[in-house]
């Protein structure tokens, strides 16, 4: 991903169900790009436009060896089922291997059966179901 990809990536993230404005993506991109060796932001383009986006990261754990996780993946509506998502997953696998990871994970909302089928066709195994909890942290001046 490069700075010029911010606007189309914002549109893709919005398609994923997380409304994002380009200034938000620019701010978040600046926190990751070139600053973190444990994460990568990838895009797929068709020669004219960005048609897919992926965020992958490596995580060290005490209870298991380091693994990689797809933190975000979306292919543009109208471009799905053309191998773009699979190509992004192959790129994530290559990146993960280069970072010493032997496992690649992905989490997917229960409301995304098409995504579940994609991952299962690609060789991912469903290993658990869990709940995700969130708590806002007050910001202090």
Residue 92 to residues 55, 67, 130, Cα–Cα distance (Å) = 9, 12, 24
Pairing of strands 67-75, 104-106: parallel
Instruction: Quickly tell me which residue has 């995580």 as its tokens.
Output: 59
- CA triple 52-121-93, angle to 5 deg: 55
Mean per-residue pLDDT of the chain: 93
The pLDDT, as a whole number, for residue 117 is: 94
**pLDDT tens-digit map of 23-63:** 999 999 999 987 889 999 999 999 999 999 999 999 988 89
pLDDT in tens, 67-91: 999 999 999 999 998 999 999 999 9
Q: Where are the domains of the chain?
A: 3-121
Show the beta-strand stretches assigned E in the chain: 39-45, 50-59, 67-75, 104-106
pLDDT at 8 over 90: yes
89 contact partners, CB below 8 Å, separation of at least 6: 54, 70, 73, 104, 122
User: What pTM, to 2 d.p., does this model score?
Assistant: 0.90
Q: Which CATH number applies to 3-121?
A: 3.40.630.30
């Amino acid at each position: 991903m490069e700075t010029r990809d911010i606007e189309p990536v914002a549109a893709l993230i919005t398609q994923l169900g997380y409304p994002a404005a380009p200034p938000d993506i620019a701010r978040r991109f600046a926190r990751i790009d070139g600053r973190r060796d444990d994460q990568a932001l990838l895009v797929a383009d068709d020669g004219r436009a960005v048609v897919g986006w992926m965020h992958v990261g490596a995580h060290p754990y005490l209870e298991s060896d380091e693994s990689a996780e797809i933190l975000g993946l979306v292919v543009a509506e109208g471009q799905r089922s053309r191998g773009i998502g699979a190509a992004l997953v192959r790129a994530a696998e290559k990146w993960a291997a280069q970072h010493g990871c032997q496992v690649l994970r992905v989490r997917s909302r229960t409301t995304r059966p098409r995504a579940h089928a994609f991952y299962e066709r690609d060789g991912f195994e469903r290993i658990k179901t869990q709940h995700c909890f969130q708590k806002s942290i007050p910001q202090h001046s």
